[in-house]
Amino acid sequence: MSQLFSPFRLGQLALPNRIVIAPMCQYSADEGKATSWHTIHLGNLALSGAGLLIVEATAINPAGRITAQDLGLWDDETELALTTVVDQIKRHSAIPLGIQLGHAGRKASTLPPWQGGGYITATENGWQTLAPSALPFGETGLVPQAMTIAQIKQVKADFVASAQRAERIGFKLIELHAAHGYLLHQFLSPLSNQRQDQYGGSLENRLRLTVEIYQAVRQAISSDITIGVRISGSDWVDGGWDIEQSVALGKALKTLGCDYIHVSSGGLDARQHIPVGPGYQVPFARQIKAETGLATIAVGLITEAEQAEAVVATGEADMVALARGILYDPRWPWHAAARLGAPAIAPDQYLRCEPHYVKGLFARE
């Protein structure tokens, strides 16, 4: 039997298989509000046969957006808009839904990628960025404001408020974004965090904000909601955040009851040198799983069915996540199931598309 297509329990959430659709920014919101693009995009992915769909990085407040077009969840209007999308998806798919909550920190106030992705100043309809220290991202980055303790407290409160909204909407999983060079990652890494207070300096201090936000969110929402953390396993820069520190964070989160850790890498420093190749981030997930006992999700150039099967079957990670690959092939789970001789999930309306050479492929939702 395929291990990739075996069921798995992530916290209290029962999943039909080990395939995760990773959060992928769409830069298509209207002042933080989900639009018809989100209905089409997420609705398409919800019919893929994956075991879990996590909605893109969703800003906890307007200043936390990467671009002005980022999805948000900070007030009643943004909550209502996302509720409408989620309700439409649930009408037609039983796929479990999660959401990733985050704040971009010093990487905020930029243009969408297809417009160049450059930084925009306050005079160009951008906004003042925030970070642990007044250090820009790269030579062309905006100089962020070093956050005060009051601003840190507000960010924690905003994470909690967004998580409570996510629970009301009906999400069964919440992922805290502490990867890819965004705000929580900025606090974790010594390259971006040069504070001299309780949130900087020692590893314990640099872990503090991520740990406190996890604790606050966990206490604020129902115990049956799964909560995990997305991290970068390494900055890929000498003297930066690395796998040993990632393991330390994992151990701290495990003691607090964290349900899983989702492991990618990079994004914090423009000097990074990433050895990109098939499954290049899987070793980070493997080491964290081995040393912490946390359930892990591996992501990063996992493109082939046999490759994904091997990651799960050998215990390197409990689940695999796809991002760009599933945009390119939105029926990747069907094709993987056919390759591995496993049943795939499809809606009734699509059952007749089952190819003759894989009769019996589709299981009923």
Q: Taking a C-beta distance cutoff of 8 angstroms, is the pair 299, 21 a contact?
A: no
From 307, 331, 311, 329, select the one nearest 319 (Cα to Cα). 311
Contacts of residue 28, Cβ cutoff 8 Å, sequence gap at least 6: 35, 37, 38, 41, 69, 71
Q: Taking a C-beta distance cutoff of 8 angstroms, is the pair 303, 272 a contact?
A: no
Distance, C-alpha 185 to centroid of its chain: 13
Sequence-ordered strand ranges (E) for the chain: 8-10, 13-15, 19-21, 52-59, 97-102, 130-131, 145-146, 173-178, 226-232, 260-264, 295-299, 319-322, 344-346, 362-364
Active-site residue flag, 214: no
Question: Looking at 119, 182, 199, 260, which residue is catalytic?
Answer: 182
Q: Taking a C-beta distance cutoff of 8 angstroms, is the pair 363, 343 a contact?
A: yes
Q: Which residues are catalytic?
A: 182
